[in-house]
Amino acid sequence: MSPEVPEPASGAIAALPSAAQPAPGRVGRPRRWYLGVAAICLLGLGIRLFYLFHWLHLTAVQGDPFYYHEAANLCADGRGWPDPYELRLSGRYVADAQHPPLTSLLLAVPSLLGFTGFLSHQVFSCLLGVGSIVLVALAGRRIAGPATGLTAAGIAAVYPGMWLNDPLVMSETTGILTCVWIILAAYRFADRRGFAEAAWLGLALAAVMLARAELALLALVLVVPLVTMARGVPWRRRAGLLAVAAATSVVAVAPWVGYNLSRFHEPEYLSTGLGSTLAVTHCPATYSGRDLGWWSFDCVLALPSPPQERSERDVFYRHAAYDYIRDHSDRLPAVAAARLGRTWGVYHPWQQVRLDTIELRPLSLSRIGMVTLWVLEVVAVGGVVVLRRRRTALLPLLAVPITLSLATVIVYGTTRFRAAAEPAVVLLAAVAITAAAGRLAGPLRSRATWITNGQRARSDTDPGYPT
């Protein structure tokens, strides 16, 4: 409910701004806010490009970065979605969906414009990272006001957890971008609860799934609870809102799912990568010892040769992993705890940052990122307390960390799996920081007002008092 505005005197009416021409103060503040976001984005882009050219430029293109890079160029050339490794090594065209398509589809944009080199994709990935800063700012403003938006954007610009993956050309960049989007869409739905907002939420869910397959769990962790628990909304309308969100999401992912169902022997939907991921994470090497909770090629080397067709290979690896899990279920609690600890930086953190160098992450930057993470995690707990006291919905911010934790328990623990949850940590930390700053600024303003009033009163009674 807006506060009442006293009616102005008749002589002042002419001085009031018209509805078509808002007061300068009302225009200036949003403009200054956007200028602040733009300045922060420039800072974030500078950090990412410095990281790229100082640490990563001219490094070998291998592993997942090679996959995303080559898949983007193949897609831009109209060659579909083959296995780029197989095509490069043997020249054979083998249908593949090791990773969901969104990362390579986005990288195909510069490829279509003629920028097909790996450096071009690295720079474009940095620009996607800057896009995440913008969405973080908008989400922070929607959650707790403009100051929180700027604070969150500032953290997102400089915190290594938000940019370490960008110049590497990894799907974590797309995961971060889409997860900020779904957080923003969730708060928009919580505010308005309309069918357009439900459709927007469903579209964000589809983007998240097409970026990282394991994030499909957000359908159950975030979207269904958010819609079905909407207070003050009749159950029939809730069902309609949920149907709209689901239909929008299904329509958005249907082309990729249909494409996969048409080209593999076994049913595959978002990715053929689950089996190979499970195969390298469920064996003696990862259930105890130095690599507890991580992954090891020893797991695959102990298995017979898999089929060449990618869906059959996926099924083969999945069954091998399920068999091992059943035979060693007593180790699952310890393995799950180690995986969670690795992902959130509390189990052998210095060993984990050394293991991360296999993905070309500089050791020094990973260590800085780990220490910064610990600080943000503690501060983020304060953000949870602040939002709870304000009765602000917490589910949109907690859903992604919960989902990533569940996925980590299923597969393995590693630093980059946490990437999609970094925006939630950043936003919660920003809420706590701005709330603390507001509490500190209140007494300071009161003291400044008291001193000013005291000086004014003395100057009124003592003509010789300096003003």
Say which range, 118-122, 138-142, 441-445, has the weakest mean pLDDT: 441-445
Greater confidence (19 vs 84) lies with: 84
Question: Is the confidence at residue 2, as pLDDT, over 70?
Answer: no
Give mean pLDDT, residues 350-363: 92
Distance CA 339, CA 329 (A): 15
Q: What is the percent of the chain with per-residue pLDDT over 90, rounded to a whole number?
A: 80
Distance CA 33, CA 22 (A): 17
Give mean pLDDT, residues 228-239: 92
Give mean pLDDT, residues 233-255: 96
Closest CA to 65 of 358, 457, 381: 358
pLDDT of residue 61: 85
Question: Is the confidence at residue 381, as pLDDT, over 70?
Answer: yes
Distance CA 337, CA 265 (A): 36
123-151 pLDDT, tens digit per residue, is 999 999 999 999 999 999 999 999 999 99
259-274 pLDDT, tens digit per residue, is 999 999 999 999 999 9
Give mean pLDDT, residues 89-100: 92
Distance CA 376, CA 156 (A): 11
Q: How many residues does the chain have?
A: 467
pLDDT of residue 30: 86
Greater confidence (42 vs 12) lies with: 42
Residue-wise DSSP of 178-228: HHHHHHHHHHHHHHH--HHHHHHHHHHHHHHHHH-GGGGGHIIIIIHHHHH
pLDDT of residue 463: 53
Distance CA 322, CA 326 (A): 6
User: What's phi and psi for 166, nearest 5 deg?
Assistant: -60, -60
Distance CA 4, CA 351 (A): 61
Q: Residue 34 — very low, low, confident or very high, per pLDDT cuts 50/70/90?
A: very high
Averaged confidence pLDDT in the chain: 89
- The three-class DSSP label of residue 35 is helix
Contact in structure between 293 and 347 (CB atoms under 8 Å): yes
Contact in structure between 89 and 305 (CB atoms under 8 Å): no
- Burial (CB count within 10 angstroms: exposed 0-12, middle 13-18, buried 19+), residue 267: exposed
pLDDT of residue 460: 54
Question: Is the confidence at residue 451, as pLDDT, over 50?
Answer: yes
Contact in structure between 420 and 400 (CB atoms under 8 Å): yes
Residues pairing with 95 in the sheet: 82
Question: Is the confidence at residue 1, as pLDDT, over 80?
Answer: no
pLDDT of residue 142: 96
Contact in structure between 153 and 37 (CB atoms under 8 Å): yes
